[in-house]
C-alpha cells in the first residue's frame, strides 16, 4: 500500500514550487530510494527533474529568463553560465513538455521556449571571442564570456537549430506560422531569425574544426558532425516547407558532404566509432579515441528520420558494447553489477572539481539506459530490421544472458530480444535509484568507487538526460503494448 507521503507527492505533481520548498525544508515527502518501487521512484524523480529544470531556466537570481544555466553552482566548480549546447538540449525537453506534460508544465514550457527564442536572438548578435555563433557559453545575463576557453564549439548552433526547428513545427501545427516566419525562419540573408542564422552558420562552417562536447580537444568530432548533419537535413525540410528552396538545396548539399565525412569515423571493430579525426589542438592524452559523446550524438538526433538507422548501425552497437566492457572492469562500483555506470572516456581525469581521476557521469549513464530503451522500442515496432547483425551482436547477447540466464540457448524472438534490452535499461535505473540522493539532486558525477555524488549540483544536463531516458522507456512500453 502506498504511503501517505507518496499520495501527497501525486497531489503535488502539478506544483513544482511547493514540491521544491517542501524538499528544501526537509519534509518527509520522499521516502528513501530503497523503499519506493522503481516505478514510484521514476515518477517522483521526474517531477523533481522537471521542477529543477524550470528553476534553472527561470528563477535563479542573476539569470535572464530563457537562458537556462548549466548549474546553480558558482564555486568549485563554477557552472553558473548558459552553455549553448546544454541550453539547446534542455529546451528540447521543454518542447516535449509543451506537448505531453501536465497542464501546468505545458503552459510553463511554452513561456520558457518563447523567452528562449527572445534571448537567443539577442546572444546571436553579441560580440564574442569566437567571432560568431560558435561561442560556447555566455553569462546568464546574456553578456559575452570574455575569458580564455575552448573555442569554437560548433555543435551548439546545430543543436539549437534542431531544438528550434522542433519548436517551429509545434508552433505551425498550432496555426502560428506568423510567429515562425518572424522569429524563427525568415528566409532572409542576412537573417534576423534564430533558426536561419544557426543553419547558415552550420552550413558555412562544416569544414571547420571545433572543440568537442567536453571542451578539451580541437578537431573534427563525430559528435559535432552528426548533429550538424541532422540540423541541415531537418533545416532543409523546414526551409522547403516555408518556400525557401535555395536554402533547402544549400543545406542538403552541405548535409550530404557531412554524411561522407561521418563515414570516416565508423569502424566495424572495437571501438566502433573514432571520436576525433585531424586533431588540431587541446589536450593530447585521449589516445584510445573512443568516447561516450559519440553514443550521445546518436541520441541527440532523435528527431531525425534517420534515427532508427543510426542507433542500430553496427558501429554504434559496437561503440555501446565497447563502453560497457571498459567501464564494467575499470570502475570498482560496476564490478558484479548488471547496470553499468559510464564515464566519458578512458583517459578522463576531471573529477568534478580538479584533475585526478575521471568518474561516472549521470548524463552518460542515463544515455546508455536511453540507448537500450530506444533499441528495444525500434526493434519492437519493426523500424529496425530483426536480423543476424542484431541478434549476434555482443551487446545483445549479453542482455539475453542476463535476462534468460547463462548456459541456456538464447531465445531470439523480437519480443525476447526487445525485453532483454529493456531490462538492461532498467538495471541502470535501479543502480541510480540506489545511489542518487533521496532529495532528487542530480549532480554531474558519481564516484567511480563509492557512488558518492561529485561535481556541480543540480546539473541541468543530468536532469535532461533523466527525462529523455524516462521518455524513451515510456515509448518502449507503449510499443510492447501494441504487439
In a domain, 386, yes or no: yes
pTM for the structure as a whole: 0.92
Residues 74, 218 within the same domain? yes
In a domain, 294, yes or no: no
Residue 340 pLDDT class (50, 70, 90 cuts): very high
Residues 403, 470 within the same domain? yes
* pLDDT exceeds cutoff 70 at 34: no
**Least confidently predicted of 203-217, 392-406, 412-426, 440-454:** 392-406
Residues 99, 37 within the same domain? no
The closest of 53, 31, 2, 46 to 473, measured between CA atoms, is 46
* pLDDT exceeds cutoff 50 at 138: yes
Give the orientation angle of helix 414-435 with respect to helix 362-380, to 10 degrees: 160
* pLDDT exceeds cutoff 80 at 14: no
Q: How many domains does the chain have?
A: 3
**End position of a domain, from candidates 41, 57, 73:** 57
Mean pLDDT score of the chain? 92
Residues 210, 114 within the same domain? yes
pLDDT tens digit string along 465-474?
A: 999 999 999 9
Catalytic, out of 43, 215, 351, 474 = 215
Catalytic, out of 55, 105, 212, 370 = 212
Is 148 annotated in the active site? no
pLDDT of residue 459: 98
Domain assignment of residue 16, given as a range: 1-57
pLDDT of residue 123: 97
Q: What Rg do the C-alpha atoms of the chain give, in angstroms? A: 21
Residues 106, 220 within the same domain? yes
- Per-residue CA distances from 482 to 303, 369, 444 (Å): 22, 22, 36
Residues 403, 337 within the same domain? yes
CATH code, domain carrying 155: 1.50.10.10
Is 212 annotated in the active site? yes
Amino acid at each position: 500500500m502506498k504511503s501517505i507521503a507518496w499520495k501527497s507527492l501525486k497531489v503535488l505533481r502539478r506544483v513544482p514550487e511547493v514540491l521544491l520548498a517542501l524538499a528544501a525544508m526537509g519534509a518527509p515527502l520522499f521516502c528513501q530510494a530503497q523503499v519506493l518501487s522503481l516505478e514510484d521512484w521514476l515518477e517522483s524523480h521526474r517531477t523533481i527533474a522537471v521542477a529543477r529544470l524550470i528553476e534553472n531556466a527561470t528563477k535563479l537570481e542573476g539569470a535572464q529568463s530563457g537562458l537556462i544555466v548549466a548549474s546553480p553552482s558558482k564555486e568549485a566548480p563554477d557552472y553558473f553560465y548558459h552553455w549553448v549546447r546544454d541550453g539547446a538540449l534542455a529546451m528540447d525537453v521543454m518542447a516535449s513538455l509543451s506537448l505531453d506534460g501536465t497542464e501546468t508544465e505545458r503552459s510553463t514550457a511554452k513561456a520558457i521556449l518563447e523567452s528562449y527564442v527572445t534571448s537567443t536572438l539577442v546572444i546571436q548578435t553579441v560580440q564574442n571571442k569566437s567571432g560568431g555563433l560558435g561561442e560556447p557559453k555566455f553569462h546568464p545575463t546574456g553578456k559575452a564570456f570574455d575569458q580564455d576557453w575552448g573555442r569554437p564549439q560548433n555543435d551548439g548552433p546545430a543543436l539549437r537549430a534542431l531544438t528550434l526547428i522542433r519548436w517551429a513545427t509545434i508552433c505551425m501545427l498550432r496555426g502560428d506560422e506568423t510567429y515562425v516566419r518572424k522569429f524563427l525562419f525568415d528566409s532572409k540573408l542576412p537573417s534576423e531569425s534564430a533558426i536561419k542564422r544557426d543553419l547558415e552558420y552550420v552550413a558555412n562552417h562544416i569544414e571547420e574544426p571545433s572543440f568537442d562536447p567536453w571542451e578539451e580537444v580541437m578537431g573534427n568530432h563525430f559528435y559535432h558532425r552528426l548533429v550538424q548533419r541532422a540540423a541541415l537535413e531537418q533545416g532543409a525540410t523546414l526551409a522547403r516547407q516555408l518556400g525557401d528552396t535555395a536554402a533547402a538545396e544549400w543545406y542538403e548539399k552541405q548535409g550530404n558532404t557531412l554524411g561522407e565525412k561521418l563515414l570516416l569515423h565508423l569502424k566495424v571493430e572495437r571501438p566502433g566509432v573514432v571520436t576525433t579525426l585531424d586533431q588540431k589542438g587541446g589536450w593530447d592524452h585521449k589516445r584510445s579515441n573512443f568516447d561516450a559523446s559519440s553514443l550521445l550524438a546518436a541520441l541527440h538526433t532523435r528527431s531525425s528520420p534517420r534515427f532508427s538507422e543510426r542507433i542500430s548501425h553496427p558501429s554504434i552497437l559496437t561503440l555501446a558494447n565497447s563502453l560497457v566492457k571498459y567501464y564494467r572492469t575499470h570502475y570498482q562500483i560496476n564490478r558484479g553489477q548488471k547496470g553499468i555506470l559510464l564515464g566519458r572516456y578512458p583517459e578522463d581525469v576531471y573529477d568534478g572539481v580538479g584533475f585526478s581521476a575521471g568518474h561516472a557521469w549521470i548524463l552518460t549513464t542515463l544515455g546508455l539506459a536511453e540507448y537500450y530503451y530506444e533499441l528495444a522500442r525500434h526493434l519492437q515496432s519493426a523500424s529496425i530490421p530483426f536480423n543476424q547483425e542484431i541478434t549476434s551482436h555482443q551487446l545483445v547477447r549479453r542482455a539475453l544472458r542476463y535476462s534468460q540466464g547463462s548456459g541456456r540457448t538464447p531465445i531470439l524472438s523480437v519480443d525476447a530480444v526487445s525485453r532483454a534490452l529493456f531490462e538492461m535499461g532498467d538495471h541502470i535505473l535501479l543502480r541510480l535509484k540506489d545511489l542518487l540522493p533521496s532529495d532528487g539532486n542530480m549532480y554531474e558525477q558519481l564516484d567511480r568507487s563509492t557512488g558518492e555524488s561529485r561535481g556541480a549540483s543540480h546539473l541541468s544536463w543530468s536532469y535532461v538526460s533523466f527525462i529523455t531516458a524516462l521518455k524513451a522507456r515510456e515509448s518502449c512500453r507503449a510499443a510492447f503494448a501494441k504487439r
